[in-house]
Amino acid sequence: MYKFAIERPITTLMLFLSLIFFGFMSFSKMNTVLFPKVDFPIITVQTNYYGADPATIESKVTEKIEEAVSSISGLDKMSSVSSEDVSVVTLIFDIEVDITEAANDVRDKISALSLDSAIEKPIVSKLDIGAAPVLSLFIASSSVKPSQLMIDVDEKIKPMIERLKGVGNIKTIGYQDREIRIYPDPFALRKYGITTLDLEKLIQASNVKISGGKLVAEKEQTIVNIRANAMSIESLENFEILQGVKLKDIAKIKDGIEDAKSISTLNGERGVILQIQKLSDANTLNVINRIKGVIPDIEKRIGSDYKLQYFNDTSNFINSSLEHVLFDLIYGGILAIIIVFFFLRNFTATLVSAVAIPTSIIGTFFLMDLFGYDLNKVSMLGLTLAIGIFIDDAIVVIENIYKKMEKGLNKVEASIEGTREIAFSILAISAMLLSVFIPVSMMSSIVGQFFNAFAFTVAIGIFISYFVAVMLIPTLSARVLKKGESKFYHMTEPIFVAIDKSYVKIVGLTIKYAKTTILLAFLTLIGSFSMVGMIGMDFVPKEDKSEIEVTLKAPIGVSLEEMGRRSEAIAQKIKENPYVEYTALTVAYNNTQDAHKAQIYVKLMDVSKRTTTQEQIIQTLRESLKDFKGFERIAVADIPNIKGAGANAPFVMVLQGSDLDELQVVAKKIQERMGKNKGIVEIADNYETGKPELSVEIKREDAANLGVSVQEISSIISTILSSERAVSQFEENGKQYDITMRFSDEYRKSVEDLKRLEVKTANGDFVALEGLVNFENSTGPASINHYNRQRQISIEANLAGVPLGEAVSTALKGIEKDLGDNIKYSFLGMAEEMGKMGKDFSLAFGLAFLMMFIILAALYESLLQPLIIMVALPLSFIGVLLALILAGKNFNLFTMMGIILLMGMVGKNAVLLVDFANQQLKKGLSVTEALVLAGEKRLRPILMTTFAMVFAMLPLVFMKGAGYESNSPMATAVVGGLISSMLLTLLIVPAIYKFLSPLDIWMRKFYDLNFMKESP
């Protein structure tokens, strides 16, 4: 291969230029995202049943839906919330499942259900309605009526965004739909002898629009439409309800908006917020750019009376984070080249070897695009960490070629001979590196998606760099490499010679006292594992994204407007912080629109404009808000990168059982235990009881005696108090609006108002409701939660300076005594994925170790030499642990990815030593002589390649900016592992080689033909 490349330079050059050209094209058009696609296929089923309490919703809706869909193939987990008027069932499928097929399966199951007639048709959605929006849009006006604002939001603004490619659900907060309200006068009803139920039926009978069939003639036909519906509010008012009695005589008709179900403000100004979510398979940046692009068109259409402002823009952090990684990539490459020049001290040699970095990186973009991968932070980090690998092979080749030139060979002969001599080592190093990533391809879940993107990127880069080293580098060396020694060379050579001599003396001693050296290394390794307990465990690090979230929870029963006033006071307090730019408040923001819950989005100054960290600001706000009255919980936290599917806090633990009271007792015990850890804060569970209820019990016997049905009493109470259910429809400009009916607020303030209600008996007389029902004040749950078809209580907590692993350990301490036989637990969100990460990493590490052994054994035709090379792996962990402790970093997803890469990187030093020693043994040298010579000749390449790798990663370790919290731990772990592995490999590998050499020779007598011939 290298001979062909040297003999056909133009062909070789065109091959790599084509790779670079297509790489640039791919880079310019590839999708750009923050992380690899980690969206699970999530289906939600939302069902409205107006007037039903949580217990009724649970039994009549939720449990039936759960039973129907539980058998669908690929379903991983299922959760549900049964609240007043609504059921929300969330189905999370395995990550490999096609979301469209899953949605079709769910619809098929739902369509076969038989639900009560009063229950609305379930709505099946292909997204997580609890997931984080990619962008939010605030709309307000000081000059336009609220009703007109709502119409424009619904008919102009929202449709223009919904039709954009990649836009999923748009959640409207603060929106009130247009509604035609009928407020009956109870005294007028009594005067004309009709009840509200009678009035409802009379309105429905008067407001009719139906098809009357068609007239069919010999040559044509005509559709007949019967239009007896109200064409205007005035015509509705003039409906003749009774002879000579119009609707306006017994009721007030108001064309307005429905009662507020939620509130939204931006910096205290009330308006409507559109929280825009993307479809699970859509590109975040593309969706946000499309939304921003359509905003000027929206402004033109709605006029200058409106204020439109977008916020919670997730694209800012994505772009900034990727820009920083790209900068670190370029900077790291420059540093690696400087290190190479310092060791080679030859300009042309450095220039030729440096070609490997851009060629490998840009070529990788082409193959990534070809195989359908996105350009994301993880892949860019992989390329940055692998810069040293890309130049490593080139360094080894060109350094060997240069040595051949020093011995008197010309450029072409030196290129051929130098490459031939080192080609096997390059192949072994590349094969070993690639073998590490084979097990990674088998990983699933979120962890697998991260590892797959990282592994594929690095593996492709290694694959390309191998061909660069054995084809492009020899070709260029044969033409441009110059032999010469500069002044800088002569100035520094004595230093390198001194290092060589010192190392030869030291390695001679380690070989002489091989057993002692091995024992000391083993004891050091064992001792280092005691440091593991000093390092915490997280799933992903907290990142300073210049935005935080404040979640508020007031006592159940507080009115929506009162919650808005209390929450706005919190928002104003937050704005007093000098680092806060603006706040956005949403009340009743969740799927079930609970009036006692609110959320404040807080935008901070960019991290580059402040000296205080986001975590410090969070702690400050916690202190300033902790004594605020009127709230049961005030939680201040960063906004997690992975949000939705019922896990919006770092720590989420689910307790499952059949008895809510038992679950609550266990939950309190766990919360008390966690509360003793000062780093676990804002602990709460989702069990909410104490919601004020007025139970109405109908006296069936008394009602039957008067000829009043139970259904009639229930309907009258519902009609009088609630306007949730439409009694008819009003059509205008092709759009239908609900006509609702209830008493005005002055007639529905207290129980006494209910007692005065009257119903009509069988003989037409009116009797007061008081004599037919009993009233009882009570409390009930605000919602009933299920997880995998069992009742559940989940415990959530935020973390302040402690790793997630510590929170999990604290919760699990003594938990078996708490649970008993009827309750089980599990984790959701980051805590769940952290557990999976530990298992997946252990499996990947074991399989990678096995694959490395298999490949090295095949390459070296030895069962012992692979073990000699692989001893570098455990030795690298000493440096990993020390580096993380000194830097104050934790184990997390990113450090685990770095360690996987490190496994392949650290073995290369041992490969260079062992391969050279094997060559010298074949020339007749003794084992000791071969090892000492190998150490002397391979010391500089090992130092050069290791320091090139280390310096290429230093920008990731030290450079601040967006995403630094994830980048730094990964690079820190790799740098620590590389340094410790280099130092120990240079000393320990020769000693182990010497110690195992007799055993290797003895074993070869059974399978190596050369040794078998020598045996008697």
Examine the domain organization and report whether 327 and 444 are in the same domain: yes
Q: In terms of domains, do 608 and 719 share one? A: no
Q: Residues 523-548: pLDDT tens digits? A: 888 888 888 778 888 888 888 888 89
Percentages helix, strand, coil for the chain, rounded to the nearest 5? 55, 20, 25
CB 603 within 8 A of CB 311: yes
> In the numeric block, which tokens belong to residue 888?
């104050």
Which letter does DSSP use for residue 304 in this model?
Answer: T
Token pair belonging to 570: 């919190």
Predicted local distance difference test score (pLDDT) of residue 568: 92
Q: What is the total residue count of the chain?
A: 1016
pLDDT band at 699 (very low <50, low <70, confident <90, very high): confident
Name residue 516's amino acid.
T
What confidence tier does 644 reach under pLDDT thresholds 50, 70, 90?
A: very low
Please spell the DSSP secondary structure of 558-602, one letter per residue: --HHHHHHHHHHHHHHHTTSTTEEEEEEEES-STT--TTEEEEEE
250 and 217 housed in the same domain = yes
Burial class (CB in 10 A: 0-12, 13-18, 19+), 662: middle
Q: Is residue 686 included in any domain, yes or no?
A: no
Q: Is residue 153 part of a domain?
A: no
- How many whole angstroms separate alpha carbon 582 and alpha carbon 578? 11
Contacts of 215 (CB under 8 A, 6+ apart): 221, 222, 224
Residue 313 has pLDDT above 60, yes or no: yes
The encoded tokens of residue 23 equal 């790489």
Q: In terms of domains, do 524 and 561 share one?
A: no
What is the per-residue pLDDT for 647?
61
Token pair for 588 = 């009743």
Q: Is the pLDDT of residue 69 over 80?
A: yes
Q: Do 254 and 375 share a domain, yes or no?
A: no
| Band (600; pLDDT cuts 50, 70, 90) | very high
The pLDDT of residue 758 is 79
Do 440 and 346 reside in the same domain of the chain? yes
Q: What is the mean pLDDT of the chain?
A: 84
Q: Is the pLDDT of residue 739 over 70?
A: yes
Which helix (H) or strand (E) covers residue 336, if one does? helix 315-344
The pLDDT score that the predictor gives to residue 129 is 47
Mind listing the pLDDT tens digit for each residue in 759-803? 888 777 888 887 888 888 777 777 888 988 888 888 989 888 888
pTM over 0.85: no
380 and 479 together in one domain: yes
Task: Judge if 343 and 457 occupy the same domain.
Answer: yes
DSSP string, 919-987: HHHHTT--HHHHHHHHHHHHHHHHHHHHHHHHHHHHHHHH--STTHHHHHHHHHHHHHHHHHHHHHHHH
Measured CA to CA, the distance from residue 179 to residue 707 in angstroms comes to: 35
CATH of the domain at 751: 3.30.2090.10
Summarize the confidence of residues 444-450 as an average pLDDT: 73
Q: What is the pLDDT of residues 241-285, one digit of tens each?
A: 888 888 888 889 888 888 888 999 998 899 999 999 887 667 788
Report CA 673 to chain centroid distance, whole Å: 29
Q: Please indicate, yes or no, whether residues 469 and 554 belong to a single structural domain of this protein.
A: no
* pLDDT value of position 290: 92
Task: Tell which wins on pLDDT, 617 or 838.
Answer: 617
| Block residue for tokens 């006692």 | 596
Among the listed residues 38, 39, 113, 40, the one whose alpha carbon sits nearest the alpha carbon of residue 70: 113
pLDDT one-digit tens code per residue, 514-524 = 888 888 888 88
Name the pLDDT band for 444 (thresholds 50, 70, 90): low
Kindly state whether residue 696 falls inside one of the protein's structural domains: yes
Dihedral of the CA atoms 388, 392, 395, 401 (nearest 10)? -170
Give the model's pLDDT for residue 62: 93
The CATH number of residue 601's host domain is 3.30.70.1430
Q: What is the mean pLDDT of residues 226-243?
A: 84
Considering the domain architecture, whether residues 55 and 183 belong to the same structural domain is answered as: no
Q: Is 694 helix (H, G, I), strand (E, B) or coil?
A: strand
Q: What are the φ and ψ backbone dihedral angles of 578, each rounded to 5 degrees?
A: -65, -15
Q: Are residues 325 and 470 in the same domain?
A: yes
Any domain includes 154:
no
CA-wise closest residue to 108 among 77, 64, 68, 149: 68
Of 802, 313, 809, 364, residue with least CA distance to 581 = 313
Specify if 232 maps to a domain. Answer: yes
Tens-place pLDDT, residues 657-683: 888 888 888 899 999 999 888 889 888
Distinct helix (H) and strand (E) counts, the chain: 37, 30
CB atoms within 10 A of CB 860: 20
Which residues have C-beta within 8 Å of that of residue 386, sequence separation ≥ 6?
Answer: 360, 457, 458, 461, 462, 901
- List pLDDT tens digits, range 868-911: 888 777 888 888 888 889 888 888 888 888 888 787 777 777 77
User: Which carries the bigger pLDDT value, residue 915 or residue 65?
Assistant: 65
Domain membership flag for residue 86: yes
pLDDT tens track for 173-187: 999 888 888 888 888
Closest residue by Cα to residue 903 from 820, 811, 841, 859: 841
How confident is residue 1011, by pLDDT bands cut at 50, 70 and 90? low
Give the pLDDT confidence score for residue 239 in this predicted structure: 87
Q: Tokens for 26?
A: 């791919």
Give the pLDDT confidence score for residue 158 in this predicted structure. Answer: 92
Number of folded domains in the chain? 5
Around Cβ 715, how many Cβ atoms within 10 Å? 18
Residues 6 or more apart from 704 whose CB is under 8 A from it? none
Asked if residue 142 belongs to a domain, the reply is: no
Listed residues 781, 811, 836: the one ending a domain: 781
Of the candidates 718, 750, 781, which is a domain's last residue?
781
Q: Please indicate, yes or no, if residue 339 is contained in any of the structural domains.
A: yes
Segments forming the whole domain that contains residue 595: 546-638
323 and 407 co-located in one domain: yes
Q: Of 781, 802, 818, which one is at a domain's C-terminal end? A: 781
CATH of the domain at 930: 1.20.1640.10
226 compared with 618, residue with greater pLDDT: 618
User: What confidence score (pLDDT) does residue 642 get?
Assistant: 64
